[in-house]
Structure 1
């Protein structure tokens, strides 16, 4: 695994793969090339996370379908779409589906660098979110099941009385659990406790 940021180049034209690969490697990126979207999708669960440079017009499966399949499979790697002349409508569709940017062939190297920089920043941001969520889960492991239920209620924005009613306990007991939660999470305020809860994905569904 390289320390360099990785770019996956998916294009059926060997000349494009070769040209993009040469430029990206000389610009300090690690590069892995793929001759088709189908080939990439077959291996996507095992490949290193990186930015995806994806051609729109490919035989067997076009770029829009590849992007749709990536979204369906929960693959969050950022996508930069490569289009030929006159493919703007497809590019707009790709952007609506979450693509970082689209570049027309032959692409401008400065524009490509800018798009990749933004894509890699997104990856770093997602890693940061995942790290915070993992840390939050570890911290929340100190709570009892009942304390987690009370914290979930707080994350939903419910007052003590509502949480007490939902859980079949007294408001006073909720207050005791809240105090224990604050102590175990080393939270100096409710907002600090809630930040930990939100990082772990609490508060997203009704209890």
Structure 2
């Protein structure tokens, strides 16, 4: 399966799966259907993108348990919980586990599409952020160890003279290192340098 945005439907009721698949397919969405949480987990790949519609009442692993398991395996797909037995405690539990939305059956078509669009927008934003982090990580990896030291001290708020004292070099050398690392990172001000430095977790 490619990286196209897909609506993954996990529901043990074949009638619901088929009707949702038909409805959303006619709306132009790319669809993948699963009859159980186990089926989805067995098939899941980390590069998949889109969102998941999960029925809350399923035999074996139910929808909330699947939602929890997805968090444990770091599946970042936004989750929309659907249920024929909506209640406040279930909705609260779903949202505490970062559900994108919680919809009750019978599903209102417009509300469903709105929820899916919101979830797919979340997925698009997450993909853009992940790509930016990857690009930033590649740029940071090109820095020399000394440039990385200077950068970390700069983004921690240290001035050139403080950095020079901490590293045992001259302020002029600090300025040279700072200039080189900013050129490598493609930034021209400290604010952008801080943004890149904070966006990529330290290794």
TM-score class, shorter-chain normalisation, is 0.7 to 0.9
Instruction: Give TM-score, length-normalised by structure 1.
Output: 0.86
| 5+ long unaligned stretches in structure 1 | none
Q: Does the residue aligned with 1:82 lie in a helix, a strand or coil?
A: strand
Deviation at 1:47, TM superposition (A): 6.8
Asked if the contact 2:52–2:77 (Cα under 8 Å) also holds between the matched residues in 1, the reply is: yes
Deviation at 1:91, TM superposition (A): 1.8
Tell me the equivalent position of 1:185.
Answer: 185
- 1:37 partnered with 2:33: no
| 5+ long unaligned stretches in structure 2 | none
- 1:78 partnered with 2:78: yes
Greater CA deviation, 2-11 or 99-108? 2-11
- After superposition, where does 1:8-157 map in structure 2 within 5 Å? 8-45=8-45, 48-157=48-157
Q: What is the CA–CA distance in structure 1 between the aligned matches of 2:98 and 2:48, rounded to whole Å?
A: 20
Q: What do the CA deviations read for 1:68-109 (whole angstroms, capped 9, x no partner)? A: 110111110000000123433212211111111010011101
Asked if the contact 1:78–1:99 (Cα under 8 Å) also holds between the matched residues in 2, the reply is: yes
C-alpha RMSD of the superposition: 2.3
Q: What is the CA–CA distance in structure 1 between the aligned matches of 2:158 and 2:84, rounded to whole Å?
A: 53
Asked if the contact 1:12–1:36 (Cα under 8 Å) also holds between the matched residues in 2, the reply is: yes
Asked if the contact 1:83–1:91 (Cα under 8 Å) also holds between the matched residues in 2, the reply is: no
Instruction: Give TM-score, length-normalised by structure 2.
Output: 0.88
Q: What is the CA–CA distance in structure 1 between the aligned matches of 2:138 and 2:47, rounded to whole Å?
A: 27
Greater CA deviation, 75-84 or 140-149? 140-149
Deviation at 1:10, TM superposition (A): 0.4
May I ask how many residue pairs the two structures share in their alignment?
202
Give the 3 Å change call, closer, same or farther, for CA 162–37 of structure 1 in structure 2: farther
